[in-house]
Amino acid sequence: MPAAGSAFAQLHQYLHHTRLLGSISSALYYDQNTVMPAAGAAWRGDQLALLAGQLHERQSSAEFGDLLAAAEAELGAELGADAPPERRRNLELLRLELERQRSLDPQLVQALAKAQSRGNAIWQDARARNDFSAFAPALLELIALRRQQASQLVSAEPMARSPWEILAQPFEPDISKTRLEQLFAPLKAELPVLLEQVAAMGNPQPAADLPEALQEQLCAELLDSWGYDPQRCQRARSAHPFSCTLGPQDFRITTRVVPGQPLSAFLATAHEWGHSLYEQGLPRGDDHFFPWPLGEATSMGVHESQSLFWECRVARSQAFAERWHPRFQAGLGADPWGGARGFWRSLNPPAPGLIRVEADELSYCLHIVLRFELELALLEQDMPVEDLPQQWNQRMQELLGIQPQTDSQGCLQDIHWAEGLFGYFPSYALGHLISAQLAEAMETDLGGPGAIAGAIAAGQEERLRSWLAMGVWPLGRAVNGEELVRQVSGRPLSAEPFLQYLKFKLELLQAPA
């Protein structure tokens, strides 16, 4: 930790206060999406706007600039080329963020916060009533504000980027449309072919639903078995599952019970707990990394790789199904799956679905391609907002061979656009690719092919967690997402490991019982 009274120590204290404000905003957001009554939306919007303005002021102030400049000078004067790389990296990231914040109009920052809160509330109502026309004006406002934000951020970008690319930087540092198109091209080419192969397999469903109380019980048992600590963690219900961190010892996740989807809550719990495990494992134990940038997540793609690892590689695995099938059977007092293999197939329904968060692994990335292409159309190609439902349905038919019957099942299903989070969706697909490549490296280190399944079968998920805790989580923002993959796996990020994993799993699903 920097010496008391040093420029670094003063900067640390300033950042600590900034983090406190940010955590208050996160707490209000968590409350808004869990227990806040609907009538509180307008006041909550004012609260969040006030905090957003105060945060922006702190992150762009002359005082912050002076403290950062003093720390930069201190680093150069005292240590020069021998400066610890983590300190240099922290200051580089802070300088980049300062320049970005300084480029933004404070009035725009507050207008965005209000529009996000308002859009969230309008979306929830419009989705419940299947009324896109009620949401369209809020979406139009958010698009206009985000375009304005991108135009202001241009001056702070270290290289030329399009409006969409600028908005994507907070989620996926250094990403470009060209790179995404390179990574997505094999998915668009091969995933529809795999979907055709499974079309004849049918979509097995359990013969009986799972009572809500049993779903909650099983979710709690899963969390307990994966290290849930009630002194530091909390699970609640929300319209859309999410994970958030309110402080260095305060981790929250939410899930939901979906009628007609008896395994949804269980898998969502695995997914969101994967996010939380990553947050709990980031390099924040040393005071130097909290509240400094290096203690933050590498990228949202890496974040998603962690949640998808626990949901798909672990909770949807055959070894896991064999261990947990008796618990589900005992809780229900019946076996509608006809054994562990049937239960495993129900965890992995081999058919494209309409809802992204319920999608099988084969079709999931096509859901992301759909949203990525529509975001580009809305933000950079002047597609009218009112055309979104029709374009959504048309492109879903082209990519997945299905169409929603309602907008609630289509363009209203996700919360992201209701909060103006353009540039976020590709991280979900990148998460699948990163997860597959990291899993290959994990298997090599743990004994070769089958090592992950072997650990799960033995109830030794802690071995998997330990590997991630040693090789992935400590990197924080020392690298970007692609650099992390290259460092851990020894080669550039590619779609190939993910596609190979899918093909192998499909062979297992198609094999005779």
Coil, strand, or helix at residue 21? helix
Q: d(Cα 91, Cα 235) in Å, to the nearest integer?
A: 35
DSSP 280-344: HHSS-SSGGGSSSGGGS-S-HHHHHHHHHIIIIIIITSHHHHHHHHHHHHHHHTS-TTSSHHHHH
User: Between helices 106-129 and 41-60, what is the axis angle to 10°?
Assistant: 150
| Location of structure tokens 């092919």 | 449
Q: d(Cα 431, Cα 172) in Å, to the nearest integer?
A: 11
* Radius of gyration of the chain measured on its C-alpha atoms: 23
CA distance from start to end of the chain: 58
272 belongs to the catalytic site: yes
The partner residues of 250 in beta bridges, in order of sequence, read 247
> Could you say which of 165, 216, 272, 361 is catalytic?
272
Residues ≥6 apart with Cβ < 8 Å to 276: 233, 243, 245, 251, 252, 253
Give me the amino acid identity at 147.
R
Q: Would you call the peptide bond into 512 cis, given omega within 30 degrees of 0 as the criterion? A: no
CB 510 within 8 A of CB 498: no
Residues ≥6 apart with Cβ < 8 Å to 32: 40, 41, 44, 117, 120
Cα–Cα separations (whole angstroms), residue 416 to 121, 147, 321, 404: 12, 16, 32, 19
Q: d(Cα 352, Cα 369) in Å, to the nearest integer?
A: 14
Coil, strand, or helix at residue 243? strand
Which of 232, 266, 235 lies closest to 249 in space, CA to CA?
232
Structure tokens at 475: 């990197």
Residue 261's region, left for phi above 0, alpha for psi from -120 to 50, else beta, is: beta
Q: d(Cα 269, Cα 242) in Å, to the nearest integer?
A: 9
Structure tokens at 469: 């805790």
**Catalytic (active-site) positions:** 272
